[in-house]
Amino acid sequence: MKSISEVEILYGEMMELELDILRFALEELSRETPMKDTKFTFSEEKASFRCNSCGYRWDFEQAHSLLSGELGIREDPTGERESPIHFIPELAQALMRCPNCGSRDFEIESGKGIRISRIVIER
C-alpha cells in the first residue's frame, strides 16, 4: 500500500455534525502518517422514521418540529438549533411519537450514526 488518497465518511442527519471541526480533527490526526495527504469527503444520510402501528413515514425536519413543540426547543437568531437528539440519538425513541397516530412504537430507518463508506488506496 502506497497511500490512502481518499476516505468517504457517511454520517446520519440525526448526528447534526460540525463538518469543519471533524475535518480539521481528521487532518490533524493523520499528519505524519500514511494518511497525511488523504482527502476526507462527507455524505449525509437523511433520517427516516416509520411507525410500526400505522406504517406512517416521516423525516427529520418533521421530527424536529414535533420535538420543538413538545420540549420548547427554539432556534437562535442565526437559525441554529440544539436538539437533544444531536447529543443522544437514542432519545428519539423516548421523546418522539408518530405524527399520524401518536404511537411511540416506531423505527429509525436511516440517518443515525457515522461510518466509513469508501476508502481509495493508491498502490
Residue 117 in this model has a pLDDT that exceeds 90: yes
DSSP 79: S
Q: Kindly report, residue by residue over 16-62, the tens digit of the pLDDT.
A: 788 999 999 999 999 988 888 999 999 999 999 999 999 999 998 88
Reading phi first (left if > 0) and then psi (alpha if -120 to 50, else beta), residue 90 is in alpha
Domain that residue 15 falls in: 3-122
CA distance 49 to 54: 12
Rounded distance between C-alpha atoms, residue 72 and residue 91, angstroms: 16
- Model confidence pTM above 0.85: no
**What pLDDT shows up at residue 87?**
53
Query: What's the domain count of the chain?
Result: 1
pLDDT at position 96 is 85
CATH number at residue 100: 3.30.2320
89-to-56, 61, 66, 73, 78 alpha-carbon distances in Å: 20, 15, 15, 16, 23
- Strands 57-59 vs 48-51: parallel, antiparallel or unpaired: antiparallel
